[in-house]
Structure 1
Amino acid sequence: MTAPQRTTGGPHLKVHVPEELRLFLPSRLRTRADRAGGEGLDHPYDGTSSLGHVVQSLGVPLTEVSRLRVDGTEVPAAHRPADGAHIGLVPVPRPQPLPPGSPCPPRFLLDVHLGALARRLRLLGVDTAYRNDAHDAELVDRANAERRILLTRDRGLLRRRTLWLGAYVHGDAPDRQTADVLSRFDPPLAPWTRCPACNGPLEPVAKEEIADRLPPGTRRTYDTFTRCGHCARLYWPGAHHRRLAARVAAARGTDGRHPS
């Protein structure tokens, strides 16, 4: 099958968008890219815009691209290609290397639509900031100030030029989203060490110290407790523990019967 022909005059580029990145293209361009195959997507070019601008105008956030190539040579996002150049986009590798000076282990900030994912990551002991009322500008400012990786499904948010580092979260279900984040950034896991509600550290606490806060049935049945150092919430291996333990085992890539 041949690539679509030019429909307008003026400068054009041949943009090779790999399958992993085509989901970001508008549907009409995605169809054209699929039909073009190895020939590349024929795309009009104003002759002056940077390559980074061209890529993002197609809908692909630069956060999802590790390298840009022009006629086979790696170039920076500020490069201005010549008419007829072949543009190659290389997706970020997994796991993704972080910029020099990034916090280690990585820490994250999630947008307002990823509350369930925030709780999953905190359950696994991953430093995860989240507020359900944060505006886009506030998210970018906090991500930059605290050097947190901004996780979102909002492509426009990822295209903000001032954002130091972000990532698109694949999947609609929390399980799929969790697997995607762990695959991409490979953070060390420390389950049961962070508060799922506020991200604070969990510390063991003696039953006698918090007995007056426990429901009678819990006080009779359980002896092991932790308390959040920030919000003072209490946790114990209650009725939902088996379900939560299964999520931890799945995240670790185990079936729960063997230590990780």
Structure 2
Amino acid sequence: MSGPEERATADPELRVRVPDELRFFLPARLRRRAAEDPEGVPCPYDGTSSLGHVVQSLGVPLTEVAGLRADGTAVPDSYRPPDGARIALTPVPRPQPLPPDAPSPLRFVLDVHLGALARRLRLLGVDTAYRNDAHDPELVRQANEERRILLTQDRGLLRRRTLWLGAYVRGSRPDDQITDVLARFDPPLAPWTRCPACNGTLVAVAKEEIADQLPPGTRRTYDTFTRCTVCGRLYWPGAHHAGLTARVDAARRAAEGDDAAP
């Protein structure tokens, strides 16, 4: 351990304890040390930056941190710690407490890389905005104006201070991602009520009304149909319905904590 004289002449440094749930955000060179060193990972400190800036410089988005402690005392992310302070991070709990002005039911907007997740959320009836050509400023503006939670795997996007609420989506597979989102936010589910293509509401439609729009084989085989109130797409329980139903059921079990999505 450094003595007082040695510590006084060393470059300013903080020690940051990062819990297991957040260690994957750290640079690879720090992950093992974060797991093995009870003092935490060393972090150079300029003596003036806020604690929030320090945490994000390690790669951890503040959207994933529920609380900060400096030398055992709870502090805000604007706090400027003294040299040598011991910092501890608390991860966001699951399900995550939400601000009083959060809409009910919850609404989401997803970045351009999460198209498969958007489709799965819509299959479950969750209000999910998504465009594959939306730019970052548009996503933040839509999230703020429509009070949607921004879901992304872009840590830079989550650092935007104007964003009212966002979250980093865990998992590389869509099924893992849907499990993560359901566990974190616990949105109410209403499968088969939203258009997977555009997020519009689906309503039942009589076969007689749309018979001329159906392929001959579909017209002969199926009798139950829904139509999107926004884009007009038609849906029926076709050849892929059993697989989609299994996916929806797995996601619902995951949300209830009874099972994991495949």
- TM-score w.r.t. the length of structure 2 is 0.92
- Which residue number corresponds to residue 12 of structure 1? 13
Within 5 Å, give how 1:106-121 maps onto structure 2.
Answer: 106-121=106-121
Q: Could you say what secondary structure the match of 2:242 adopts?
A: helix
Match of 2:258 in 1: none
The equivalent of 2:257 in structure 1 is: none
Tell me which residue corresponds to 1:25. 26
Query: Shift of the alpha carbon at 1:149?
Result: 0.6
Partner of 1:97: 97
- Which residue is 1:138 aligned to? 138
Count of residue correspondences: 248
Q: Determine helix, strand or coil for the equivalent of 2:163.
A: coil
Q: Which residue of 2 aligns with 1:127?
A: 127
Query: Which residue matches 2:220?
Result: 220
AA aligned opposite 2:173? A
Contact 2:33 2:40 in 1 (8 A): no
The whole-number CA distance in structure 2 between the counterparts of 1:100 and 1:85 is 33
Structure 2 contact 68–88 (Cα < 8 Å) conserved: yes
Deviation, 1:34, is 2.7
Matched with 2:190 is 190
CA distance in 1, matches of 2:19, 2:241: 42
User: In structure 2, how many angstroms separate the alpha carbons of the residues matched to 1:101 and 1:163?
Assistant: 14
- Is the counterpart of residue 78 in structure 1 residue 69 in structure 2? no
Query: Quick one: which amino acid aligns to residue 217 of structure 1?
Result: G
Q: Which residue of 1 aligns with 2:253?
A: 253
Segment drifting more, 10-19 vs 206-215: 10-19
Deviation digits for residues 40-69 of structure 1, max 9, x if unmatched?
Answer: 112111111001000001110000001111
The 5 Å alignment of 1:195-214 reads 195-214=195-214
Q: Provide, for residues 99-156 of structure 1, a one-character-per-residue CA deviation record: whole Å limited to 9, x for no partner.
A: 1111011110000010000000000000000000011111111111111111011111
RMSD after superposition: 1.4
Counterpart for residue 170 of structure 1: 170
- Provide the C-alpha distance between the structure 2 equivalents of 1:132 and 1:42, rounded to a whole number of angstroms: 39
Counterpart Cα distance in 1 of 2:115 and 2:72: 41
Secondary structure in 2 aligned to 1:244?
helix
Q: State the alpha-carbon separation in 1 of the partners of residues 32 and 145 from structure 2.
A: 40
- Write the distance in 1 (CA, Å) between the matches of 2:115 and 2:223: 30
Distance in 2 separating the partners of 1:154 and 1:13? 26
Letter of the 1:66 counterpart = A
- State how far apart, in whole Å, the 2-side matches of 1:172 and 1:29 are: 22
What are the Cα deviations for residues 195-230 of structure 1, in whole angstroms up to 9, with x where unaligned?
A: 000000000000001111000111111110000000
The amino acid that maps onto 2:63 is: T
1:242 corresponding residue in structure 2: 242
Tell me the distance in 2 between the aligned counterparts of 1:20 and 1:9: 31
Query: Which consecutive unaligned segments of at least 5 residues does structure 2 have?
Result: 2-6, 255-262
